Amino acid sequence: MEKGTDGIESDQAEDFIRLLAEHEQRLGRYVLMLVPNVEDSNDILQESKLVMWRSFDQFQPGTNFSAWARKVIFNQVLKYRRQPARRSMPFSEDTLMLLEENIEQEIDYFDKRHEMLSGCVNRLKSQHRSIVDLRYNDGLGIESIAQIIGRTSGAVYRVLSRIRKNLRECVSRKLQEEMPGEN
């Protein structure tokens, strides 16, 4: 295996980059929930990425990268708060710890729902999956989708409404099966 400039194996660097890219948006939302100032949250996220990279050899492959990364980020938030210029932040450290516990649970629940939604979307007929892709991945409006697929705007609106209803029901069923009593 090749060694990188820091003596870290290339495979390890690739694993880190892949995992970070996969979880980056979620981690960004997590920081923003703890530190609502966008500039501060961006600074904390950047510093957290450096800390994650430097300590990536401590991450156990096959475990939950997102949970590991959130712990690193939370410690960076606490470190950031302790800086003299940051002492007037809105929450006490105790409140921040309680908030973080709730955010952890919410993010885990959100991640589980997102995973289930992806599974439900994958089970759609290819024509319906294409419409969902056009609407939500490509960001196209109803009129544009109607032109592309050769249907009226009203028809596309009705199809999307049925698809969303079916996806909601699918996710609810899956949640009920996997997490009875939590839904």
Q: How far apart (Å, rounded) are the C-alpha atoms in residues 72 and 66? A: 10
Q: 96 and 69 in one domain?
A: no
| Three-class DSSP category at 120 | helix
Q: Which long-range contacts (CB under 8 A, 24 or more apart) does 71-78 make?
A: 72/48, 73/27, 73/30, 73/31, 73/34, 73/44, 73/45, 73/48, 74/34, 74/100, 75/51, 76/44, 76/47, 76/48, 76/51, 77/31, 77/34, 77/35, 77/44
Cα(102)–Cα(93) distance, rounded to whole angstroms?
14
The structural domain count of the chain equals 2
When pLDDT is averaged across residues 55-63 and rounded to a whole number, the result is 91
Note whether 103 and 177 are same-domain residues. yes
Domain residues for the domain of 103 are: 92-183
The pLDDT value given to residue 182? 54
Structure-block tokens of residue 141 = 């409006």
Query: Contact at 8 Å (CB) between 57 and 15?
Result: no
Answer yes or no: is pLDDT of 4 > 80. no
pLDDT band at 166 (very low <50, low <70, confident <90, very high): very high
Q: Are residues 72 and 125 in the same domain?
A: no
Last residue of a domain, one of 90, 112, 147: 90
77-136 pLDDT per residue, tens: 988 887 766 555 666 767 777 777 777 777 777 778 888 998 999 999 999 999 999 998
| CATH number of the domain that residue 10 is part of | 1.10.1740.10
